[in-house]
Chains A and B, each alone.
Chain A
Amino acid sequence: MTEVKKVESLTKKDIISTYFRSTFMLGSFNFERMQAIGVAVTMIPAIKRFYHKKEDQAAALKRHLEFFNTTPWPASAIFGVTAAMEQKKAEGGDIDEAAITNVKIGLMGPLAGIGDPIFWGTARPILAALGASLAMSGSILGPLLFFFGINIIRMLTRWYGFKVGYTQGTDIVQDVAGNRLKKLTQMASVLGLFVMGSLVSKWTSIKMPLVLVSYKQAGKVVDTTMQGILDSLLPGLVALLMTFGCMWLLKHKVNAIWIIFGMFAIGILGYWAGIFGL
């Protein structure tokens, strides 16, 4: 194993094939090893390129059928690093199976920590909110903006993620831990939270026409509604409190779907009791 063999690098065709496969990585998501088969399928072009003996190929496939779960799009960077390590191993470098698995497992968590806020917390909700606001007036621009916007981001993330991972190899570990990506994550989180805050106010409508006090002034009946009192305090207060209520419930592991059903119950009971109005 000490002798260094010359192993071909991935060709352009291999990289395109890996990219294409990676876009299906979650297809066989299961509760035992989650994204495992998808990872193995994505790595197949690299395994075929680097290993030619049957037992080596089988061992590599087995390595990549281990538990794997992270944010899907930036996972391509992990595939790039893994491919680079597999190549080194095939060349006879001192990389053992455990090292490859450890880097994979080690990058999973931090990458999800970056990927979830950036893609699921910021990019998708903001594009979806923009798209939905256009769509609700019946404009085809809404769906188009969302679909193309999010897919361009996704394709760039996957394509360049893999390339950077493959060329930098294990050096990328420093990048993931480093300041640059942390900065990006923080920026995404600030933007995401800012927009969420404005949406809580802008895109909720809660009307509480319940009359609390009624008196006559200059011959006219003046009603003081619950809405009026709350609005003079802070418009959108009820929505804000509901948001915090939901956050609390979610933190206590209450399934979102139950919270949504609870919201429906509140709506129906509130309407029945006359607290909420249309």
Chain B
Amino acid sequence: MNTMQFILVILVALICGMASVLDERQFHRPIVACTLIGLVLGDLHTGIILGGSLELIALGWMNVGAAMAPDAALASTISAIVVIVGHQSIGEGIAIAVPLAAAGQVLTIFVRTITVFFQHQADHFAAEANFRGVEWCHIGGLFLQGLRVAIPTGAVAAIAGTSLVSQWLDAIPPVVTHGLQVSGGFIVVVGYAMVINMMKARSLMPFFFIGFTLATFMTGINLVGLGILGACAAVVYVQLNPDFHDSIKAPAAATNVGSDDDDVLG
């Protein structure tokens, strides 16, 4: 890794860290973050593949309400560097990504607590109608979130090329690495469970089972096909759902006596 690459890696990490709290342009998602790190390090191909694999695991990681998701940003940047610069396998990258996501979550909780200070600072500026001041408080919090990812990523980038990292990773017994690969096959269900729970739609669970059964027994159908079927099911469900038909509901309420005659005429 040359100096230019090192600077670019830090820059990407800074953007990913900010995106992680913003949840806006989605630079923090593994599929984007790993691709960018791959691009910067001159191995786009590996970056894309690692990004795709990590994206599957992180599919359901989301910030809902006050609950926070495991941090995809730190996990993506560091594991991409370790895989590309440290010449590790994709499986190894996935294995280290999850502990990193946990570490990233702890760090963002820390930063979000510190930002309370900026909140109070903003109150003071607001009392003086100091717009600039409030804006700086905002940017301050955002910048801290960027540093939260950029600093650890920079530290790893500095040592990733040395034999230190590969020595550490080699020290992991094979039963653990193989076991981690095995879990890689089903760890995705945590994300699916997060999505399903968030929907809070128990009555719609039959559609989950329809999707499951179709995908299980119609092995030839791909994701686009399943998406089309799902979309059709969604439209038909809403069209047939009596909750959305005022015309059906109104007679049941029986507010208008004699409406039956009108119906015949109308």
Residues of B within 8 A of A41 (CB): 134-135, 138
Cβ contact within 8 Å between B137 and A267: no
With the chains together, A141 CA to B52 CA distance in Å?
Answer: 11
Interface of B is mostly: helix
Task: List B137-184 residues whose CB lies under 8 Å from chain A.
Answer: 137-142, 145, 175-176, 178-184
Selecting from B6-14, B26-34, B79-87, the interface stretch reads: B26-34
A237 smallest CB distance to B (angstroms): 9
Cβ contact within 8 Å between A206 and B196: no
Q: How many residues of A contact B (CB 8 A)?
A: 114
Cβ contact within 8 Å between B134 and A37: yes
Cβ contact within 8 Å between B116 and A32: yes
Cβ contact within 8 Å between A112 and B52: no
Cβ contact within 8 Å between B197 and A133: no
With the chains together, A260 CA to B53 CA distance in Å?
Answer: 15
Cβ contact within 8 Å between A37 and B48: no
Of B56, B194, B205, the residue contacting A193 (CB under 8 A) is B205
Q: Mark A106-129, 1 if CB is under 8 A from B, else 0.
A: 000000100011001100111011
Q: Report, as a range, how many residues of chain B touch the other chain.
A: 35 or more
Cβ contact within 8 Å between A236 and B212: yes
Cβ contact within 8 Å between A243 and B178: no
Cβ contact within 8 Å between A194 and B126: no
Asked whether B40 is an interface residue with its Cβ less than 8 Å from the other chain, the reply is no
Of B112, B188, B208, B210, the residue contacting A203 (CB under 8 A) is B188
Asked whether B1 is an interface residue with its Cβ less than 8 Å from the other chain, the reply is no
A73 smallest CB distance to B (angstroms): 8
Task: List B43-73 residues whose CB lies under 8 Å from chain A.
Answer: 44-45, 48-49, 51-53, 55-56, 59-62, 64-66, 69-70
With the chains together, A206 CA to B183 CA distance in Å?
Answer: 8
Cβ contact within 8 Å between B190 and A234: no
Top 3 closest pairs, chain A to chain B, by CB: A267-B183, A135-B52, A197-B211
The residues of A with any CB-CB pair to B shorter than 8 Å are 23-34, 36-38, 40-41, 44, 47-48, 54-55, 57-58, 61-62, 65, 69, 72-73, 112, 116-117, 120-121, 124-126, 128-140, 142-143, 146-147, 150-151, 154, 179, 182-183, 186-207, 234-236, 238-240, 242-244, 246-247, 249-251, 256-257, 259-261, 263-264, 266-272, 276-278
The residues of B with any CB-CB pair to A shorter than 8 Å are 18, 21-26, 29, 31-32, 35, 44-45, 48-49, 51-53, 55-56, 59-62, 64-66, 69-70, 98, 101-102, 105, 112-116, 118-119, 122-123, 125-129, 131, 134-135, 137-142, 145, 175-176, 178-201, 204-205, 207-217, 222-224, 226-227, 229-231, 233-235, 237-238, 241, 243-244
